[in-house]
Amino acid sequence: MNDKLSRRSFVALTSAGAVSSAVQTANSQSANSQSGATTRSRSGKELRVGACQILTFPEPKRSAEKICHWLETAAKENLDVIAFPEAAVCGYTCEKDYWKQANPEEFRAAENVILTAARKLKLAVVLGSAHWEEGKVFNSLLVADKGGEVRGRYSKTFLAEAWPTPGRARLPVWTVAGVKSCFIICHDIRYPELVRLPAIAGAQICYYSSNESGLLEEHKLSAYRAMPISRATENGIYLVMANAPADPNNMRGDSQSHGNSKIINPDGNVLCEAGYFSETLMTATINIDKATRSIAKRTANEETILKRWINEGAQLVKQEKS
């Protein structure tokens, strides 16, 4: 780790007791942070979205309790949708023994507690979790709309860990809080088609949940910041990224991440971005009309060598009615 990063890490570790809790807000008209979200009046074109950057625990019940606390914070911030990091229900771990002993019922019970709280608070939720089908475990996102209606699960397509089975069943676009949305998990960000094809099919927001490499792998940080920005810009859609923060008490291991959760405008400008270590809720009011999908639609509509190929690919997207 170079001296510059070391100094930044030291400042983060020694201020606010190493891990701080905060709520940061942004308006889609400006990248400046702002407060007073709970009193904001919004038109039907606006949506309040949030990316919750937190550490959770191997015990699903314990994780659910912490997640519900942040749901309450999101409700106070007048959010419509909140996204959580990859595998938030189990505190992301690659330990083989953990997954050999993991109890699917504990995961389902934790999810039900979270869904019940979200329903009560009138929040839509994109929740990093894991689930089992026919004895196989999947690294997945549980997506629920306002009112608690479960839209479905997206299972990670391109894996960077050994414990789950890769998702192959669907590339979904689901309506969440009235807006067509798509979903990717961590290593999926490196495969642009996973966002391009849903954007062609109508998605105006991509929810990206991750638990990326830690700060000790500094050589990866530039790419990690660039890729979410690229996915938004190259399609003309919003991207909401919920990443786990770095853990100052455990900087090594497969379960480490580096924070920097963010909300990105369709033109590629970052509306708000978290630090490395903070447990925080990044929020923004976004104008859906700005998510024109212009770049994605151009690849599908213009007479180029890509047109036929990209439109055939778009047929892989599965859409459910809202």
CATH topology of domain 19-234+250-319: Nitrilase/N-carbamoyl-D-aminoacid amidohydrolase (3.60.110)
**Domain residues of the chain, as ranges?**
19-234+250-319
DSSP assignments along 88-146, one per residue: GGGT----HHHHHH--HHHHHHHHHHHHHHHHHHT-EEEEEEEEEETTEEEEEEEEE-G
Best CA proximity match to 143, nearest among 129, 163, 158 = 129
Residue 19: the pLDDT is: 38
Best CA proximity match to 275, nearest among 258, 250, 287, 294 = 258
- Residue of higher predicted confidence among 266 and 252: 266
Residue 235: the pLDDT is: 98
Tens of pLDDT, residues 286-322: 999 999 999 999 999 999 999 999 999 999 998 875 4
Interhelix angle for 60-76 vs 104-121, to 10°?
10
User: pTM for this structure?
Assistant: 0.89
Tens of pLDDT, residues 194-209: 999 999 999 999 999 9
Tens of pLDDT, residues 94-112: 899 999 999 999 999 999 9
pLDDT band with cut points at 50, 70 and 90 for residue 44: low
